[in-house]
């Protein structure tokens, strides 16, 4: 046998699938998966149009040609797949980055092309099942690429279509077998399909929700892909290593002129801007960041997403005592971040991979959990401050993506207690920089700190005692009285107003700890945000902008503390299941769902509902017409059999209708008239002349009266 | 299902390495789908009740109609049937291909007994994977029969033997041929009368179908002595031949007696129809056959 014949034999078609509904359901599933992938930025508009028209067209072609051998078609499709694979290889080789994440998009395009080409040759049920499985792969690829909730709509459509396809496929598989039992007399009913599909979907949802509570959360512990994307429009920062924050508008430090004034050309600050992302933090000023989504963070665990720290305190302002920068540049990613003299290092901490997806233009700070070790940043150049924080050399606009791998100190309460118990020697660079206090600081701050921590023997418990005191004796509010001129902000907060927000609270904690001889600094950035259990990402909003205290522990390094934000210690466990945070997310999201979903979704829902109703009405109308066309005897027999069934006497398949009626008349519906009813039915079924209207009415009357006299059950 | 499980595991790995929460949502959905695919048919199959009705007679290798009624939750089942023969107490023999039915439903189900014998129980094998068709569950229901099914052997077409042997003698009797029978009387034709008995001359004269009633001549009783001891395969062929002889004899108007061995011992008895002959042959077992009547022409098998 020649090789060609062998190939032909291997490709011999199996039993051809004729079910149009099954083909349509599979097509919908495939198109939903393809659309979901296209929405993640895969391919251009040409590919999108090609897929949306091509897949249904290919499916139609496949249906129309399902009885042809199609050997040449297979050859052409194989060539097409080879071409798509060749294009994939060309795309990958042209990237030249060696970063696995960059391969994702070409790989997704290859999947799309494969799916399209495969749609041309799906004559058999098995082929359609392959298509369904490959659509699962495709929707999975889209899921990997997706970071937003809009993917959920595609997933729901795909899940419904796939469920329907599975049900229809199973029915089609059964239909290949001889049917044992002819139930007969049944009208086509949508419930035959709708019921199992609806019941199945409900079960899938319930069991899926249970499974969601148990499956592990998405993690990046063994990450393969470290995305980093920089939009083309990203301009360079005027001063290399300088700070830029376009959200502050005219107060953007990058617009500062040489004489210290700001460039008047700057526009007003964005509503979501945070005044902490600048070179000096005035604790008497509080912007009003709104709920604008600033960025999404993909991370296995919550942490403070730290932007920068301040070490110099003058009683009102925080600033940087040392603004020198070190340039870190490399041709190959990742950029390795060396430890700074103020970091302890030396410990083997846990790795935390964070990928930041910026949704709004922001400061050029590279946010990272402490302490950044490697950064995947498309510009391949960063600037490191002496406190270890990082700045980009370019503006970070919307759609910027970068990944930071942090090595977090092994910090648990026990470790921190142990590290700070007994006499500790503070390295000079840390003591010099992080024990600084203003000379005119009111003495009662130190006295209060000593009083509150008198019973504590280690730094960790002292921090917790101070946090507890502030929680018990002060109030968190954004509406605080104006800070009097010349007043110390911490003193005013602790003793006069006893009201403040994160800047006051964080500053007070830092200052009191410094007064006790504990190195501390003020960090600004974002709190973790709300974990979206569906995307697995922390959604960080402008209102999550935050200031908190960082406390130095010997042998451990810097550890964030803040009584106003529930962020676990670095050594604490992260979320234990994929559903972690679901309740909180729904609580925050559901009230805003209508405004977020937008009119398009509602329009789709309305149109879908209307079409569904129209389809249902059309079906019901068809059903009524079909019922009306049925003969009287068929309808009457249905009623008789229903009455018999209700009384525990279903009609055996082997029993004729008249015999069954007579038997009912002698058993569960004892009525002498049933013999006459049986004769009427006999004449209707077998007689040359059907029974008259009067006899029919008598038969119906006999059935009704007997049923009423001998009720079921 | 294996493919789905493998894909789900792959997605877990992908989710754990890429941090994609959606993959975990898909994995949960797949777990839910597999759970539903396993749970629904299991529950449905457990709640399904079946009733089976069987005919009294069947012929080996020929389709036999069983009436099947299945009740329970709305689902669909694949059904196969296996027959339990009296001579094989603990085993069942497959007797049907796979067929499917809706539940609830009732109707006829065709199966084919593979061999001669007496079937006294039926095992119904129900398989269900509805509605998703990913996970199959199987349940066997053993249904005792109110009345055993006598599975007759297949009929090997045979002619009435021309040479016969009487019990205790070597008398050779010529075969009765049509046209040499002694006519006892004539009567009007009734449906069922053999056409060879039609008296065409009288029919023509009377203008009404008329048939002959023949005398029961000496030696018109054909005794078939069936001894099934020996090679079982040969025995089955002999049983088939005996069935053919019975049918041929009865068709030719000869009285037929079957001498066989049954579980209770040797049995000799006249058979009035092929059906009765089939029942006798179904019950025949290996053993010394009954003694043929003295006046009968005897055919011994083997």
- In this prediction the ipTM stands at 0.75
pLDDT score recorded for residue B178: 46
Question: Is A621 in the B-facing interface, judged by CB distances under 8 Å?
Answer: no
Cβ distance of B23 and A212 shorter than 8 Å = no
Q: In the prediction, which pLDDT does B91 show?
A: 85
Residue A181: which of B53, B98, B105 has the nearest Cβ?
B105
Q: In a 3-state reduction of DSSP, which class is residue A229?
A: strand
Q: How confident is the model at residue A511 (pLDDT cuts 50, 70, 90)?
A: very high
B170 confidence band (pLDDT: 50, 70, 90): very low
Pair of tokens at residue A290: 């709104």
Q: What is the pLDDT of residues A253-293, one digit of tens each?
A: 666 666 655 555 544 445 456 777 888 888 877 666 778 88
Substitution target in A181, A185, A654 with the highest count of B β-carbons within 10 Å is A181
Give yes or no for residue A226 having a pLDDT over 90.
Answer: no
Hey, which residues 227-266 in chain B have their CB within 8 Å of chain A? none
Is the CB of A209 inside 8 Å of chain B's CB atoms?
Answer: yes
Query: Is the confidence at residue B248, as pLDDT, over 80?
Result: yes
Band of pLDDT at residue A475, cut at 50, 70 and 90:
confident
pLDDT value for A464: 92
Q: Is the dihedral of CA A604, A606, A609, A611 positive or negative?
A: negative
Q: Is the pLDDT of residue A138 over 50?
A: yes
Q: Is A222's CB within 8 Å of B17's CB?
A: yes
Sequence-ordered list of residues with C-beta below 8 angstroms from that of A465, at least 6 positions apart, any chain: A452, A453, A455, A456
Query: Higher confidence at residue A582 or residue B155?
Result: B155
- Band the pLDDT of A184: cuts 50, 70, 90: very low
Judged against a pLDDT cut of 50, whether residue B80 lies above it is answered with: yes
pLDDT in tens, A662-708: 888 888 888 888 888 988 888 887 777 777 888 888 888 888 888 88
Q: Cβ neighbours of residue B178 under 8 Å, at least 6 residues apart?
A: B196
Angle at A161 between CA A158 and CA A165, to 5 degrees: 130
Closest-CA distance, B272 to chain A, in angstroms, reads 28
Continuous segment of H or E residues that includes residue A86: helix A71-95
CA distance B165 to chain A (A): 47
Least confident of A1-10, A59-68, A195-204: A1-10
With an 8 Å Cβ cutoff, are A223 and B18 in contact?
yes
Chain B residues with CB inside 8 Å of A137's CB? Answer: 7
The fraction of chain A above a pLDDT of 90, given in percent, is 21
pLDDT band at B295 (very low <50, low <70, confident <90, very high): confident
- Contact call for A653 and B35, based on CB within 8 A: no
Greater model confidence, B38 or A184:
B38
Q: Does the beta carbon of A107 lie under 8 angstroms from any beta carbon of chain B? A: no
Is the per-residue pLDDT at B151 higher than 90? yes
Cβ-defined contact of A179 to B100 (cutoff 8 Å): yes
Please report which confidence band the pLDDT of residue B166 belongs to, taking 50, 70 and 90 as the band edges.
very low
CB contact under 8 A, B20 and A139: no
Most confident of A7-21, A67-81, A127-141, B8-22: A127-141
**Per-residue pLDDT reduced to its tens digit, B179-210:** 456 676 788 887 777 788 888 988 888 888 88
Does the beta carbon of B61 lie under 8 angstroms from any beta carbon of chain A? no
Q: Residue B216 above 60 pLDDT?
A: no
- Alpha-helical regions (H) of A454-563: 459-473, 489-491, 502-515
pTM: 0.72
Whether residue A133 lies within 8 A of chain B, CB to CB, comes out as yes
Q: Using pLDDT thresholds of 50, 70 and 90, give the confidence band for residue B168.
A: very low
Cβ–Cβ below 8 Å for A653 and B67: yes
Instruction: List, in order, residues 6 or more apart from A164 with CB less than 8 Å away.
Output: A21, A25, A193, A197
Q: Which residue in the set A152, A180, A196 is minimally distant from B101, CB to CB?
A: A180
Mean pLDDT, rounded, for B279-285: 93
Contact by Cβ (8 Å): A167, A61:
no
Q: Cβ separation of A218 and B19 shorter than 8 Å?
A: yes
Chain A residues with CB-CB distance to B16 below 8 A: 216, 218-219, 221-222
How far apart CA A444 and CA A450 sit, in angstroms, is 10
Taking CA atoms, A579 is separated from A147, A160, A214, A303, B20, in Å, by: 16, 22, 8, 18, 13
pLDDT reading at A564 higher than 60: yes
Judged against a pLDDT cut of 70, whether residue B172 lies above it is answered with no
Check residue A402 and give left, alpha or beta (phi > 0: left; psi -120 to 50: alpha). beta
Task: Give pLDDT, residue A508.
Answer: 93
Q: Which residues of B touch A142 (CB under 8 A)?
A: 22
Residue B35 contacts A where some CB pair is shorter than 8 Å: yes
Mean pLDDT of A73-97: 84
Beta bridge pairs of residue A488: none
Average pLDDT rounded to a whole number, residues A175-185: 67
- Partner residue opposite A653 with nearest CB, options B22, B39, B106: B106
Question: φ and ψ at B91, to 5 degrees?
Answer: -120, 160
Residues 6+ apart with CB under 8 A from A455: A465
More confident residue, B43 or A593: B43
Phi first, then psi: give them for residue A364, nearest 5 degrees.
Answer: -85, 25
Distance CA B222, CA B99 (A): 44
Interface of B with A in 79-108 (CB under 8 A): 79, 97-102, 105-108
| pLDDT for A593 | 57
- Yes or no, beta carbons of A225 and B102 under 8 Å apart: no
Per-range mean pLDDT, top range of A165-174, A186-195, A417-426: A165-174
Q: So what's the pLDDT on residue A556?
A: 82
How many Å lie between the alpha carbon of B277 and the closest alpha carbon of chain A? 26
pLDDT tens track for A486-509? 889 999 999 988 888 888 899 999
Listed by number, the residues of chain A in 150-189 with a beta carbon closer than 8 Å to a beta carbon of chain B are 151-152, 155, 159, 163, 166-167, 169-171, 173-175, 177-183
Q: Are residues A554 and A424 in contact, defined by beta-carbon separation less than 8 angstroms?
A: yes
Q: Does the pLDDT at position A131 exceed 90? A: yes
Residue A46 pLDDT: 83
Q: Do B25 and A155 touch (CB under 8 A)?
A: yes
3-state secondary structure of B169: coil
pLDDT at residue A15 tops 60: yes
Query: What integer is the mean pLDDT of A68-85?
Result: 87
Q: Do A181 and B109 count as a contact with CB atoms less than 8 A apart?
A: yes
Q: What dihedral angle (degrees, nearest 10) is formed by the CA atoms of A280, A285, A291, A292?
A: -40
pLDDT at residue B243 tops 90:
yes
How close is the nearest chain A Cα to the Cα of B23, in Å? 6
User: What pLDDT is stored for residue B169 in this prediction?
Assistant: 36
Q: Does residue B251 surpass a pLDDT of 80?
A: yes
Which H, E and C letters describe A245-284, residue by residue?
Answer: CHHHHHHCHHHECCCCCECCCCCCCCCCCCCCCCCEEECC
Mutant choice from B27, B28, B129 vs A, greatest count of A C-beta within 10 A: B28
């Amino acid at each position: 046998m020649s090789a060609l014949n062998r190939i032909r034999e291997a490709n011999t078609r199996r039993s051809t699938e004729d079910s149009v509904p099954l083909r349509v359901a599979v097509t919908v599933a495939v198109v939903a998966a393809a659309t979901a992938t296209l929405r993640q930025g895969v391919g251009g508009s040409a590919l999108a149009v090609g897929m949306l028209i091509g897949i249904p067209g290919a499916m139609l072609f496949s249906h129309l040609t399902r009885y042809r051998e199609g050997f040449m078609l297979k050859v052409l499709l194989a060539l097409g797949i080879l071409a798509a694979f060749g294009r994939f290889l060309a795309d990958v080789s042209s990237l030249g980055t060696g970063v696995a994440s960059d391969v994702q998009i070409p790989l997704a395009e290859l999947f799309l092309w494969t799916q399209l080409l495969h749609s041309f040759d799906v004559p058999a049920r098995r082929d359609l099942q392959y298509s369904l499985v490959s659509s699962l792969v495709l929707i999975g690829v889209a899921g990997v690429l997706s970071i937003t909730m809009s993917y959920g709509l595609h997933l729901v459509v795909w899940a419904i279509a796939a469920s329907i396809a599975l049900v229809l496929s199973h029915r089609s598989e059964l239909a290949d077998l001889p049917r044992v039992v002819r139930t007969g007399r049944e009208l086509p009913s949508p419930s035959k399909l709708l019921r199992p599909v609806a019941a199945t979907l409900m079960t899938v949802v319930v069991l899926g929700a249970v499974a969601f509570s148990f499956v592990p959360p998405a993690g990046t512990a063994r990450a393969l892909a470290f995305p980093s994307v920089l939009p083309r429009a990203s301009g360079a920062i005027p001063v290399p290593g300088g700070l830029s924050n376009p959200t502050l508008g005219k107060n953007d430090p990058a617009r500062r002129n040489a004489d210290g004034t700001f460039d008047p050309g700057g526009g007003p600050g964005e509503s979501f801007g945070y005044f902490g992302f600048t070179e000096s933090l005035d604790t008497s000023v509080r912007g009003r960041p709104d709920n604008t989504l600033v960025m999404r963070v993909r991370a296995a665990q919550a942490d403070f997403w730290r932007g920068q720290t301040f070490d110099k305190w003058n009683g009102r302002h925080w600033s940087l005592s040392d603004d020198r920068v070190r340039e870190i540049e490399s041709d190959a990613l990742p950029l390795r971040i060396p430890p700074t003299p103020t970091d302890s290092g030396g410990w083997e901490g846990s790795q935390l991979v964070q990928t930041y997806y910026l949704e709004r233009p922001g400061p050029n700070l590279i946010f990272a959990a402490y302490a950044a070790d490697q950064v995947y940043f498309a510009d391949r150049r960063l600037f490191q401050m002496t406190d270890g924080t990082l700045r980009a050399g370019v503006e970070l606009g919307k759609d910027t993506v970068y990944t930071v791998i942090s090595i977090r100190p092994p910090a648990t309460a026990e470790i921190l207690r142990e590290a700070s118990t007994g006499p500790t020697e503070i390295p000079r660079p840390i003591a010099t920089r992080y024990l600084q206090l203003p000379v005119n600081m009111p003495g009662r701050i130190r006295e209060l700190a000593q009083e509150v921590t008198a019973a504590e023997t280690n730094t960790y418990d002292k921090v917790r005692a101070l946090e507890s005191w502030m929680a018990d004796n002060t109030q968190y509010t954004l509406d605080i009285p104006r800070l009097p001129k010349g007043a110390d902000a911490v003193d005013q907060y602790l003793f006069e107003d006893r009201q403040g927000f994160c800047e006051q609270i964080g500053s007070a904690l830092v200052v009191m700890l410094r007064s006790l001889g504990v190195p501390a600094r003020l960090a600004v950035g974002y709190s973790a945000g709300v974990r979206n259990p569906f995307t697995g990402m922390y959604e960080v909003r402008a209102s999550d902008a935050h200031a908190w205290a960082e406390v130095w522990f010997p042998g451990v390094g810097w550890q964030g503390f803040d009584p106003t934000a529930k962020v676990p210690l670095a050594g604490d466990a992260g979320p234990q299941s994929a559903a972690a945070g679901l309740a909180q997310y729904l609580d925050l999201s559901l009230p805003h769902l209508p405004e977020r979903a937008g009119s398009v979704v509602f329009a789709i829902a309305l149109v879908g509902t209307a079409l569904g109703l129209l389809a249902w009405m059309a079906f019901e109308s068809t059903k009524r017409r079909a019922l009306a066309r049925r003969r009287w005897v068929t309808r009457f027999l249905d009623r008789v059999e229903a009455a018999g069934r209700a009384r525990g006497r279903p009609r055996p398949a082997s029993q004729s209708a008249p015999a069954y009626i007579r038997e009912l008349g002698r058993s569960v519906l004892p009525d002498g008239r049933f013999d006459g009813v049986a004769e009427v039915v006999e004449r209707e079924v077998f007689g040359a002349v059907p029974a008259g209207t009067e006899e029919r009415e008598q038969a119906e009357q006999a059935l009704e009266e007997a049923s009423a006299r001998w009720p079921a059950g | 299902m294996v493919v789905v499980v493998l894909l789900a595991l792959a997605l877990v790995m992908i989710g754990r390495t890429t941090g994609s929460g959606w993959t975990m949502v898909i994995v949960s959905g797949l777990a839910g789908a597999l759970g539903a695919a396993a749970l629904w048919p299991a529950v449905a199959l457990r709640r399904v009740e079946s009733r089976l009705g069987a005919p009294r007679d069947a012929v080996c290798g020929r389709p036999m109609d069983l009436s099947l009624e299945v009740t329970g939750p709305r689902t669909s089942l694949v059904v196969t049937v296996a027959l339990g023969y009296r001579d094989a107490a603990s085993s069942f023999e497959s007797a049907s291909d796979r067929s499917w039915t809706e539940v609830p439903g009732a109707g006829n189900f065709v199966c084919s007994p593979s061999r001669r014998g007496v079937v006294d129980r039926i095992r119904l094998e129900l398989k269900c994977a509805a509605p998703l068709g990913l996970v199959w569950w199987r349940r066997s229901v053993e249904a005792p029969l109110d009345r055993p099914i006598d599975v007759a052997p297949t009929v090997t077409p045979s002619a009435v033997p021309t040479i016969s042997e009487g019990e205790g003698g070597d008398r050779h009797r010529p075969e009765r041929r049509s046209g040499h029978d002694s006519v006892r009387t004539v009567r009007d034709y009734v449906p069922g009368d053999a056409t060879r008995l039609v008296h065409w001359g009288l029919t023509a004269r009377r203008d009404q179908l008329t048939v002959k009633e023949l005398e029961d001549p000496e030696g018109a009783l054909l005794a078939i002595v069936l001894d099934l001891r020996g090679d079982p395969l040969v025995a089955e062929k002999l049983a088939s031949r005996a069935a053919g002889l019975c049918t041929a004899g009865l068709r030719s108007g000869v009285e037929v007696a079957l001498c066989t061995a049954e579980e209770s011992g040797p049995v000799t008895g006249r058979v009035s129809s092929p059906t009765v002959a089939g029942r006798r042959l179904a019950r025949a077992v290996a053993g010394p056959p009954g003694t043929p009547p003295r006046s009968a022409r005897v055919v011994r098998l083997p």
